[in-house]
Structure 1
């Protein structure tokens, strides 16, 4: 069974997305979507050898809420910076150590940091377990590091490790 469904969660999500895009749950769409989902799951096993294991699924909802609120707040903050009479924001780079080592957790963290306006994940050093982040308007580097560690990294460690 593991050979046919190396990433079952991926296959289920792809099937659901297929049915939503087709706007039909007919037998033909279910069968075709199932075949596509299985083939995509098999192809993904060549790229992603380790299985995705979500240890605490309810924490995923908490992460979605926290990230959603942070993205809205950050949009407002960037807008205020752009419309302020102040001449220039103080852009800077932060090198931040991470405890998170799970590949999926790191990918989600990279997406969250980059999706939040005013910040971008630039580089991850696996040997030193550090990430380089660009911040559009840096006021306090320690506050940024603590925010990312407390709000995102800790939740991602609970979810994936």
Structure 2
């Protein structure tokens, strides 16, 4: 059961990270396009600015699950190093529950905010609803749940292992 969940977690976290990388590429390409049109062609493409912002927002929220999976979001390294082995699992549980509580709040309110914002349109892209910008929060939170659970079941502390 644990191995099946960890396989699912690896797939979902990998998918989210691939999406985050894709959003970084999109932001970079759009940024270069904006520079060329603004400073070389002297006819700025104003729509690229909102798409860059949108892709960076998606990049962050899709990258967070990987940070949770690697244990990089909530750093309790010193306390972890000073703790006896039995207390470390308790510390893992407390950190995981706190992170899960935060992610569930983001999931709940992010979805609510997305639904409320679907009547708005993006400035510069009037045909696209703000829903697509706001929904990055609950989507990232949903993927983060898998990363948090995966980190609790199979902790990865590479920075602690190399520092000792």
TM-score, L = length of structure 1: 0.32
| Greater helix proportion | 2
Greater RCO (CA < 8 Å, at least 6 residues apart): 2
TM-score, L = length of structure 2: 0.32
